[in-house]
Amino acid sequence: VNGDVVHELDALIVGAGFGGVWQLKRLRDEGYNVKLVECGTDYGGVWYWNRYPGARVDSAIPFYEFSDPALWEEWTWKQRFPGSAELRSYFSFVADKWDLRKDTEFETFVSSAAWDDNEAKWTIHTKAGKVFKVKYFLLNTGFAAKRYIPDWKGIDSFKGTFLHPSYWPHEELDLKGKRVAIIGTGSTGIQLAQELSKVAGHLTVFQRTCNMSMPMRQVEYNGPKQYFPKAEYPSIFEHRTDSFSGFAFNFLPRSTFEDDEEKRRKTYEDLWAEGDFSYWLATYYDMLFNKEANREAYNFWRDKTRAKINDPKVAEILAPMEQPYAFGCKRISLENGYFEIFNQPNVSLVDISNKGTPITDVTPNGIRTSEKEHEFDYIICATGFDAVTGGLKQIDIKGPSGESLSEHWSKETTTYLGMSVAGFPNMFFTYGPQGPTALCNGPTCAQLQGDWIIKAMNYMKEKDLKKIECTKKSEDDYKELIWKLANASLLPTVNSWYMGTNIPNKPREPLIYLGGVPTYYKTLHETAANGYEGFELS
């Protein structure tokens, strides 16, 4: 290609988080000539980038690790919900154990890819000018590869430090005694606020929408004993695909109002005490689908939460008396004392919703709202990501027609099975649009989808086929299914990254598959059993 050295491979994997690491290990075991490239300098995916104080996974162990016994028999976690640094150590352990480093290239950003129909291969270029020619292009860029910072006027004029948490510096940042602003109260904003409230001279949290965050109930381990005995792990991993969300728990088999008030209260109390995502994903099966059931869940959450907050005005912003949006239809976060920080004298809350005082611009000294200027040394912009599609669209990927993925998805996102796109042969992605992403945890998805992709590649090899591509019809039918599943739930009633509405002008559409892991798993299985139904193989 234009005289460059071309590296020929069976497959190029992009992204060294759970998805990419699993595929590298499995594909190599199956005898493929494969490389993994990653723009960071080490493994970990979101955990490589997210180093802000308090960064922590909110999926419990052992659901947030690989199911390979060679790993879990040896690896012992220190916490039920490990922090970012421990997760990076885990990735290093995995890389050594599976001997991944020799086939991984770091500091390698894939900038473009184009399909050559004559050769039935992808030509892939990196930013540094490296060229790969491969049969399969496997994207594991995750759902949070593209940061989002609103285009407020004046950001460049700010004299202090302005940063997005997923670009937190690798060296420690001394915020002791400083005036710190956090904008955004998603999982990141909440975790950060909990930690920074301990050190900042004054911390101001700017909230646009309240986060219906629930107690995490962290557990510390001082020895080999983990939350579940390791003897149970094989069965736990096997049964992940029986759970709607890929965990140990499932929705209750009864609806909210099948129980009388007393029984319902007891059920809520038990789920609340359990911590984890129980109150969200192990509750009555109709909670995400029925308005009244949802209101009941909200009211319990609201009362529990308000009881933690001293100032009724602050409580009204953090947990309004009147339900502001459907409970659980925006990503729920798990908290460790988040609401109590607002009882501290060094923490304040600013309501930047339309009912309050929205941010108008950033000034040399801080943040101006419709009410006044707030002065800061640090502004931490925890405003999230162009989630799910952003990481894929930022690569210039062109199929045989010359149309780019970004063009293909300009009006709406279409995929088949949340892993492939019509017009983009031999390209698969994991943890992306229209997969069980976000209501399922990363490693479960990485293994489930990764294994299916590898099975498809093996099938192609067995039958001596060159090209696999989903049809436009299967893409259209799948899109209809995605909407049907979403419309049966309350999800489309809420603005969130699940619906693409966190980014101005992004199409409003469900970006996640709401059928649950068991149905998704069954569909994948059936598709494969029927000779990759919905795909054209040639």
- Determine the residue type at 166: S
| Contact by Cβ (8 Å): 14, 112 | no
SS3 content of the chain, % helix, strand, coil (to 5): 35, 20, 50
What is the total count of residues that contact ligand NA7 (CB under 6 A)? 20
Bridge-partner residues for 182, per DSSP?
205, 380
Nearer to ligand NA7, 167 or 263 (CB): 167
Q: Which is nearer to ligand NA7, 424 or 431 (CB)?
A: 431
- Nearest-angstrom CA–CA distance, 230 and 236: 9
Q: How far is the CB of 127 from ligand NA7 (least distance, A)?
A: 25
Nearer to ligand NA7 by Cβ, of 379 and 457: the residue is 379
Q: Is 186 in the site for ligand NA7 (CB under 6 A)?
A: yes
Cβ atoms of 293 and 287 within 8 Å: the answer is yes
Q: How far is the CB of 69 from ligand NA7 (least distance, A)?
A: 28
Using CB under 6 A as the binding rule, whether residue 383 contacts ligand NA7 is answered as yes
Interface residue with ligand NA7, options 384, 391, 435, 436 (CB under 6 A): 384
- Residue 377 vs 386, nearer CB to ligand NA7: 386
361-374 burial by CB neighbour count: b if 16+ within 10 A, else e?
ebbebbbbbeeeeb
Using CB under 6 A, pick the residue from 196, 382, 453, 457 that binds ligand NA7: 382
The distance of closest approach from Cβ of residue 144 to ligand NA7 in the complex, given in angstroms and rounded to an integer, is 6
Burial class (CB in 10 A: 0-12, 13-18, 19+), 285: middle
Closest distance of CB 475 from ligand NA7, Å: 26
* CA–CA dist 477, 417 (Å, integer): 10
As a three-state string, the secondary structure of 68-133 is CHHHHCCCCCCECCCEHHHHHHHHHHHHHHCCCHHHEECCCCEEEEEEECCCCEEEEEECCCCEEE
**Nearby residues of 145 by Cβ (< 8 Å), 6 or more positions away:** 15, 385, 390, 391, 394
| Binder of ligand NA7 out of 185, 290, 447, 489 (CB under 6 A) | 185
Per CB under 6 A, 352 contacts ligand NA7: yes
Residue nearest to ligand NA7 (CB): 186
| C-alpha to C-alpha distance for 151 and 154, rounded to whole angstroms | 9
Judge if the upstream peptide bond of residue 443 is cis by omega within 30 degrees of 0: no
Q: Which residue has the tokens 């789920």?
A: 271
Q: Based on CB atoms, which residue is closest to ligand NA7, 187 or 426?
A: 187
Three-state secondary-structure class, residue 364: coil
Q: Identify which range of 35-43, 181-189, 272-280, 281-289 contacts ligand NA7 by CB under 6 A.
A: 181-189
Position 443 contacts ligand NA7 (CB under 6 A): no
Residue 187 CB, nearest approach to ligand NA7 (Å)? 4
**Closest to 475 in 3D by CA, of 519, 394, 413:** 413
Residue identified by tokens 């020929």 is: 8
Instruction: Report CA 152 to chain centroid distance, whole Å.
Output: 25
Question: Contact region for ligand NA7 (CB under 6 A) — 121-129, 178-186, 218-226, 256-264?
Answer: 178-186
Nearer to ligand NA7, 87 or 95 (CB): 87
- 183 scored as a contact of ligand NA7 (CB under 6 A): yes
Alpha helices in 467-529 (DSSP H): 472-487, 517-529
Tell which one of 376, 424, 497, 532 touches ligand NA7 (CB under 6 A).
Answer: 497
Which residue, 247 or 416, is less far from ligand NA7 as judged by CB? 247
445 binding ligand NA7? (CB under 6 A): no
Give the SS3 label for residue 359: strand
Distances (CA, A) of 453 to 11, 91, 436, 450, 471: 12, 22, 15, 5, 17
Binding status of residue 17 toward ligand NA7 by CB under 6 A: no
Contact segment (CB under 6 A) with ligand NA7 among 24-32, 180-188, 197-205, 302-310 equals 180-188
Residue of 45, 54, 184, 500 interacting with ligand NA7 (CB under 6 A): 184
Task: Please report whether residue 360 would count as binding ligand NA7 according to CB under 6 A.
Answer: no
By CB under 6 A, what part of segment 290-319 binds ligand NA7?
A: none
Q: Is 346 in the site for ligand NA7 (CB under 6 A)?
A: no
Residue 242 corresponds to which tokens in the numbers above? 């029986």
CB nearer to ligand NA7: pick between 454 and 491: 491
**DSSP-based three-state secondary structure for 355:** coil
CB of 341 to ligand NA7, least distance (A): 16
Quote the least distance from Cβ 199 to ligand NA7, whole Å.
20
The pattern of x and - marking residues 135 through 164 that bind ligand NA7 according to CB under 6 A reads ---------x-----x--------------
Looking at the Cβ atoms of 288 and 438, the one nearer to ligand NA7 is 438
Residue number, 226 or 502, with CB nearest to ligand NA7: 502
Q: What is the maximum alpha-carbon separation in the chain?
A: 75
Residues in touch with ligand NA7 (CB under 6 A): 144, 150, 183-189, 208-209, 331, 352, 382-385, 438, 497, 502
